[in-house]
A = this chain, B = another copy of it.
Amino acid sequence: MQGYFLYFRAMETLDNRKKVEVCFSPYLFPLYKEEFDIIVVIDVLRATSAICAAFNNGVKELIPVPTIEEAKEYQEKGYLVGAERKGQIVEGFDFGNSPYSYMIDSVKGQTVVLSTTNGTKSINIAKDAGQVVIGALSNLDTLNDWLVRQNKNILCLCSGWQNKFNLEDTICAGAILDHLLATGNYRSEEDSSIAAKYLFLSAKDNIFGYLKASSHRRRLKNLNLNEDIKFCLTPNTAPVIPVLKGDRLVAIEADVLI
């Protein structure tokens, strides 16, 4: 039987295609983090959608911070600071993570600080494992084209909800996976990746309807955030590539190789 194993490993070694995989939650990230060059951090409702909207609206830099304490420190230094917990703006901050907060004139050319329940935590745990890039449905096609050009090992890290799996991030990851696999230059092995692709394929013709039952959509709907949800679930509203450089996100041109 050992022979089969060796044959299998040998075939894997001969396969030159790069890997693209999906991790369902930051909690599971320690099981996946080896061997990836690029980590696509995804938090569709709403952090990474808001980040894409911000850069598309001319925000200069965005500093993601995991804790409210750090957000406060930046606020005291005079920065514009967004902070969200459990779907709501934290008292005393300029805004939360509604994309619309970042689509106003006063943020153009500014450095903005952001702390959210799930998204900025994912950025924080991913940053030592590989090059962080921001993914959302908002920048899907632009991101996909950019990722194809990179030809690196890619992990899609879904931010989930309080460390648990969520549907909207998984479907976004599935859309990325589906695009990369179709090029023939990428492969994936994990069942989480196969499932993300299956879920995307059954959702793609009606993402809004498919996610009707999703827990986070229900949660935001109860907070009267339907306009935000519609914006975040609409693909390709913000053709930007936000990447982490040092402690801050900046938008790079779509032809830059990293």
A residues bordering B, Cβ < 8 Å?
1, 4-5, 7-8, 24-25, 27-28, 31-32, 88, 161-167, 170, 189-192, 194-195, 198-199, 202, 213-216, 222-224
Q: In the assembly, what is the distance between CA of A130 and CA of B24, in Å?
A: 26
When the two chains form the complex, which single residue of B5, B194, B222, B223 contacts A213, counting CB atoms closer than 8 Å?
B194
Q: Assess whether B28 is in contact with A223, with CB atoms less than 8 Å apart.
A: no
Which B residues are in CB contact (< 8 Å) with A28? 25, 27-28, 163-165
Q: Assess whether B88 is in contact with A1, with CB atoms less than 8 Å apart.
A: yes
Q: In the assembly, what is the distance between CA of A191 and CA of B211, in Å?
A: 10
This chain: how many copies in the complex?
2
6 closest cross-chain pairs (CB), A and B: A165-B192, A167-B191, A8-B222, A166-B191, A4-B222, A191-B215
Which B residues are in CB contact (< 8 Å) with A164? 28, 31-32, 190-192
Q: A1-B88, A28-B164, A32-B164 are in contact. List 13 more A-B contacts (CB 8 A).
A: A4-B224, A7-B222, A8-B222, A24-B165, A27-B31, A31-B162, A31-B164, A161-B191, A164-B192, A167-B191, A194-B214, A195-B195, A199-B199
A211 CB to nearest B CB, Å: 9
Which B residues are in CB contact (< 8 Å) with A191? 161, 164-167, 170, 214-216
Q: In the assembly, what is the distance between CA of A31 and CA of B27, in Å?
A: 10
Identify 23 residue pairs between A and B in the complex whose beta-carbon atoms are under 8 Å apart, listed by A's number.
A1-B223, A4-B222, A4-B224, A24-B24, A27-B27, A27-B31, A28-B163, A28-B164, A28-B165, A31-B162, A161-B191, A165-B190, A165-B191, A165-B192, A165-B195, A166-B191, A167-B191, A167-B195, A170-B191, A190-B215, A191-B216, A198-B199, A202-B202
Give the residue name and chain of the B residue nearest to A202 (CB).
B202
Q: Assess whether B166 is in contact with A224, with CB atoms less than 8 Å apart.
A: no
Which B residues are in CB contact (< 8 Å) with A224? 1, 4
When the two chains form the complex, which single residue of B8, B32, B167, B194 contacts A194, counting CB atoms closer than 8 Å?
B167
Q: In the assembly, what is the distance between CA of A191 and CA of B88, in Å?
A: 21
A216 CB to nearest B CB, Å: 7
Give the residue name and chain of the B residue nearest to A194 (CB).
B213
Give the residue name and chain of the B residue nearest to A1 (CB).
B223
